[in-house]
Amino acid sequence: AAGVIQSPRHLIKEKRETATLKCYPIPRHDTVYWYQQGPGQDPQFLISFYEKMQSDKGSIPDRFSAQQFSDYHSELNMSSLELGDSALYFCASSLTGTGVAGGPTGELFFGEGSRLTVL
Amino acid sequence: TQLLEQSPQFLSIQEGENLTVYCNSSSVFSSLQWYRQEPGEGPVLLVTVVTGGEVKKLKRLTFQFGDARKDSSLHITAAQPGDTGLYLCAGNTGTASKLTFGTGTRLQVTL
């Protein structure tokens, strides 16, 4: 079965550069989430999109932006990179209403992540 | 403020031992999920619990959702080295589209 695909898997950038991460959700999933996980930390929610519209926003810096395109893939753009941006960035997708109780959030399926290293 | 606190943060045990991981919050969750994450990989869903008092079993893993839907536990029987990983609980309040992850429990099972 198709899973969430993220690219690139590894990315090395210098301070003040720009980086773009891509995410291709599971086909027919309508919601995409971005999480940031620093070393030894739990994933922190950045932003989510439902049917190509931003649905929720977490601790995403103003230097970051994201969007979901007509083919449902999503991109996370990070500008003016800082050393502290070095982390694993995970994308996840879900299908609304497919939670165990038919609730708003179905189970999240995560990609393998993109490891960003800022030098 | 961290909504979900997990304990213990680290656990190192020998193969065959039993263990319990706790996930506690002051918030009520409409559903709570447990994930396991291995180094360099994304979290993988283990189970979702939605009903207060619910108990779900997945082979040697037993998950319980508290009656008030504010806490959960994961019990592993006869741990094996393959159980090694980071265990994360994650809650959904029902009003938001996102999951909030717990602080994580890093488990190491040695021979």
Averages of pLDDT over each 10 residues, chain A, 119 residues: 90 97 93 91 89 87 95 95 96 72 63 95
What per-residue confidence (pLDDT) applies to A102? Answer: 41
Task: Note whether A14 and A118 are within 8 A (CB).
Answer: yes
- Top pLDDT among A83 and B94 is at A83
Task: Note whether B38 and B51 are within 8 A (CB).
Answer: no
How far is A113 from chain B, CA to nearest CA, in Å? Answer: 6
**A84 phi and psi angles, rounded to 5 deg:** -70, -10
Q: Kindly report the number of other CB atoms within 10 A of residue B80's CB atom.
A: 12
What per-residue confidence (pLDDT) applies to A1? Answer: 62
Nearest to A56 among B49, B98, B104 (CB): B98
Closest CA to A33 of B110, B83, B90: B90
Burial label for A16, CB within 10 Å (0-12, 13-18, 19+), is: exposed
At A54 the three-state DSSP class reads strand
Closest CA to A105 of B26, B10, B93: B93
Nearest to B43 among A45, A99, A110 (CB): A110
Measured over the CA atoms of residue A114, residue B1, residue B7 and residue B12, the dihedral's sign is positive
Residue A4, both tokens:
């969430």
Question: Of A102-106, B52-56, B59-63, B76-80, where does mean pLDDT reach its minimum?
Answer: A102-106
How many Cα atoms sit within 13 Å of A43 on the Cβ side? 36
Tell me the mean pLDDT in the region B38-54: 89
Task: Note whether A14 and A73 are within 8 A (CB).
Answer: no
What per-residue confidence (pLDDT) applies to A103? Answer: 43
How far is B13 from chain A, CA to nearest CA, in Å? Answer: 20
Tell me the mean pLDDT in the region B24-46: 89
At B38 the three-state DSSP class reads coil
Is A7 near chain B, with CB under 8 Å? no
Nearest to A45 among B40, B98, B103 (CB): B98
On chain A, the residues whose CB falls within 8 A of the CB of B104 are: 41-42
CA dist A100 and B1 (Å) reads 28
Measured over the CA atoms of residue B5, residue B8, residue B11 and residue B14, the dihedral's sign is negative
CA dist B93 and B103 (Å) reads 17
Q: Say which residues have a Cβ less than 8 Å from residue B39's Cβ, sequence separation at least 6.
A: none
How far is B60 from chain A, CA to nearest CA, in Å? Answer: 21
User: What is the percentage of chain B residues whose pLDDT exceeds 90?
Assistant: 67
Cα Rg for chain A, rounded, in angstroms? 14
What per-residue confidence (pLDDT) applies to B40? Answer: 82
Q: What is the pLDDT of residues B15-34, one digit of tens each?
A: 999 999 999 999 888 888 99
